[in-house]
Each structure stands twice: as C-alpha cells, then as structure tokens.
Structure 1
Amino acid sequence: MKLSKAERQAKILNELSGTASLRVAELAGRMGVSTETIRRDLDELTDKGLLNRTYGGATRSLSSEPSVSERHTLHVTERERIAKATIPLLKDARILMIGSGSTTVHVARRIASEMRDITVLTHAFGVATVLSMNPTIRVLMLPGEYHAEEGATIGVHTVSFLDNYFADAAILGASGLSEEGPSDALIEAAAIYSAMVRRAASTIVVADHSKHNRIFPARYARWREVTHLVTDTAPDGDVARTTKKYDVKVRISG
C-alpha cells in the first residue's frame, strides 16, 4: 500500500529515533517512492526543525524542540492519562519539585484538583499558574532569568536556590529518553532538572511515547537516579533494557 506524505514523514522520524542517520536511497527503496520524493520529505522535516539534512540523507535533530506553548497542543490525551497515573505515586508527599514542560503542567493540574496542604517548588510559570487554583497549595517560584520559549526561569540563581531545599519527589518531563537516561533540548533547563534530582528523595519522569528512544543534547539524570517512569506506552529496545537493569518502576498509563 502506498503511504501518504504524512505517513512517510512519520515513518522517517520513527526510523531516525533508533539510528543516528538515514540515506535517501535506502528510504526510497523501503517506501517504494523516488529519491526526489524522499528529498522533499527531508527538506520539509528539516524546515520544521525535526531533523538535520545532510548530503545524501539526514540525521536526527539534537538541538531543538517546539516551544512549550506549541508542545501543549501535542499528545494531549496521552499526557492527561500520564498525569492521572502519576498522582498515586505522590500520596505521601508533602514537598514537591516540578520542572518545566507540557506534561508537567498536566501533572500539576491533576495535583491542584486532587491534593492539598503541600508545598511545590517550580521554575515553570505554567505549573505555578495551574497550582494557584488550589489555595491550600503553597508555591515557591524559583528565581532566575526568564526563558520565554520555555515559560520558565533558568540560570545559576535558579540552581543555587534549589540547593537550600529538599523534596519528597521531583516530577520532570523530558525531550527524549535513551539508554543513558532522560535528556532535554534546552541545556539550561536540564541543569535545573539535575539539581532537582539531587535534592529529591525520589525522581518521577513523565514522558509520552514520542520521547522514547530519542536523544537530545543535555542528559539530566542516569536511569539509576530515576525512581519511576510514567508513560503511555511500554518502552522497548535499549530504554526497556536499561530501565529494567536499574530497577526503574515503569508505570503505563494506558
């Protein structure tokens, strides 16, 4: 069956998630289309920032992902389910740290509706905004330089502020999950996530299936530092192997 353009491009991105590079001729042969068709697909995906075009092929993009406002429109149903599945892991928590991102905002919204009398430290304005709907939740906003695309504070002041606090759990999103651990496209945000991991008794990574087997520039934790991974689809390949090796408790939202 001939694939549509959208199906071809989705297949290209899926294949790039498991390998460092792809060749035009190989892709054309696998999909039964001309090399010119594949080149046009790669050019469009490059324009969207989803991969890097090379001579004769493409490599996966390690430098960027959409802004947090754009990410809020993607995989909404999956993220809502992930948020619901995360709440039972927090039943005994009194102090939380929450990182920036679209999935963490969904989790924060659930926290606001189902928890009370807790303290949350966050650098994300979206997280703070939805938590403010619950007057019993005390929110400490971390200082720092405002990063507009991420909707969060970043920088040395943010990290140093965290060094004065401890939390029962850190709740963190990720741009990608690989065998080495969760990683983020924004290096400055990853530094804050790493600080949260160090200051929390447990670390909960919340990430939908589109993040599986993808690598971004800044790894913020190794799997041995992660307590739970909450996702909508069971990971496979290297991510499945390494999470099992380090006894990460994988919770599938369904």
Structure 2
Amino acid sequence: MLTEQRRRQILDMLKRDGRAVAGELARLWGVSEDTIRRDMRDMASAGLLKRVHGGALPVAAPLPGLSVRRGLATEEKRRLAVAAVQLIAPEQVIFLDGGTTTAEIVRHIPRDMALTVITHAPTIAAELEAHGAVDVVLIGGRIYKHSMVSVGPTALAAIERLRPDVFFLGATAAHASDGLTTGDFEEAAIKRRILERSLATYCPLTLDKLDSVSPFGIAAIPELTGMIVVSEAEDTVLEGYRSRGANVILA
C-alpha cells in the first residue's frame, strides 16, 4: 500500500471510529508499526490528526468566530438549553461560561426565576438584562476576543473566591479518553478552575464536537456531573463516554 493510500485510510478510520491504533493498522496492512507511527507523526505536523500514545485521534475543526457561531446549529442549541435549564433551581448560584449555547441557556431561564448568575463573558451578562430577578456578577480580566471571555490572573483570582452551585461549561471538543478540550491555553485554565470550584458541572455539546480533540485540556469525562447531548447522538458513540463514567443527559 502506498503512503498516500495509508494516510487517506487513517483519516477515514478517524472519521468512522474516532481513533486509530498504530499496532492494529500495522498488522492489518502488513507494514511495520514504525511506518504507521511515521505516517501519524507527519500527519500531526500537517494538522490532520492528534498523536496520542499508541495511535491518533481526530482534530477538532477550527472554531469560527462568535458572530458566525451564533447562526450555527440553532435548533440543536435550543434543545440543549431547554435541558440545561431543567437542572437549575431557584435561588442557586449559577456560573455561565461564554459561548452561543450558554447564551441560549440564558434565553430559556424563566424571567421570574430568582438566581445569582456569575459569568466571565460580557456578552452573557448583557443577555441577562431583561431578567429582573437575576443578580449578575461579571468577572473581569483580559478579554480573549475569540470567545469574548475574561482570562488571566485577574479572572483566576476572582474565581478563587467563588463556590457556584452549578457551572455550565463550554468546550470546543469532547473525547471519551482525552476528555474536554478547547483551543486556547489560558481559556482552558479558567474553565478548569471554575469546574474545580463548582459543586456541579454540566457540559452541553453539539454533535459536531463529539469524538474530536482540541489542543488544550479542560477536564476528564468523569469530572463532569453530566454531559448534555441531543437524542440523535448515536448509541455507539455515547457508549464510549458512558464506559468512562459519563452521565449522559439527552435533550
């Protein structure tokens, strides 16, 4: 089998199975494991996959800017938001991450529900303008414009003094073995610390984010209280997360 044929089939396997194991491919194709590792190393350098111990995982597609994301998968995000709001009780302290799905959560919170909502996203704080029963706490810091959230030491220092009841976490990718990931190092650190400070953490995920990996880790799947996905998610895909201890909530 020619090099280009092998590499095309590796990409097909990642798309189909969500992972590729070097040893298995070497036996299947009758080549050395070093050959497969070299293929994967070159493909990782080209940004086509992510190398992990023993094989490779798919790379999450580059995330478009916030203004573009507002118009993507709107019905799916609405369903995720409806399911998320069912996990909120009056008088709780809620931390909302940045992003378009969490903005949709705000739109489905009853206007008369008394809550304290903390966020490090000024766009999320603005969405709460019409919620008269909600006290809003905005965390400051340097704005990471791609997601419009505060990052850096100022934001971290404020988060250290918080203890939210529920955190709705946003991630750009989720994988059963690699966990939740995102595309920015500082943003990942902020998300990770909010999770550690929160009593419960739920992550709503659109289907395009499943079985992919972004560069910077947030948390392992068992660290979540639950992951929220729409009911169209394939059982074979969800089983990988459940086998890692995930509580999957279907929207």
The TM tier, using the shorter chain, reads: 0.7 to 0.9
Query: Who is 1:108 aligned against?
Result: 106
Using a 3 Å threshold, how does the CA distance of structure 1 residues 148 and 81 change in structure 2: closer, same or farther?
same
Q: Distance in 1 between matches of 2:157 and 2:48?
A: 39
Q: How far off its partner does 1:13 sit?
A: 11
- In structure 2, which of residues 87, 90, 109 is the aligned counterpart of residue 89 of structure 1? 87
Using a 3 Å threshold, how does the CA distance of structure 1 residues 13 and 140 change in structure 2: closer, same or farther?
farther
Query: Who is 1:187 aligned against?
Result: 185
SS in 2 for 1:90: coil
Query: Who is 2:148 aligned against?
Result: 151
SS in 2 for 1:167: coil
- In structure 2, which of residues 202, 205, 210 is the aligned counterpart of residue 204 of structure 1? 202
Q: Which runs of 5+ in 2 are unaligned?
A: 1-10, 22-42, 50-57
Query: Who is 1:32 aligned against?
Result: none
Per-residue CA shift, 1:56-93, capped at 9, x if unaligned?
x9445468411122111110110001101111111256
Aligned residues: 210
CA RMSD of aligned residues (A): 2.8
- 1:1-254 superposed matches below 5 A: 15=15, 18-19=18-19, 54=46, 58-59=48-49, 60-61=58-59, 64-91=62-89, 94-111=92-109, 113-114=110-111, 116-179=113-176, 180-232=178-230, 233-234=232-233, 236-237=235-236, 240-246=239-245, 248-253=246-251
How many percent of aligned residue pairs carry the same amino acid?
22
Q: Distance in 2 between matches of 1:158 and 1:188?
A: 10
Using a 3 Å threshold, how does the CA distance of structure 1 residues 141 and 16 change in structure 2: closer, same or farther?
farther
Query: Who is 2:5 aligned against?
Result: none
Using a 3 Å threshold, how does the CA distance of structure 1 residues 115 and 84 change in structure 2: closer, same or farther?
farther
Moved more, 76-85 or 130-139: 130-139
Q: Which runs of 5+ in 1 are unaligned?
A: 1-10, 22-50
Q: How far off its partner does 1:244 sit?
A: 4.0
- Give the aligned residue type for 2:66: V
Q: How far off its partner does 1:96 sit?
A: 0.8
Q: TM-score, normalised by structure 2?
A: 0.74
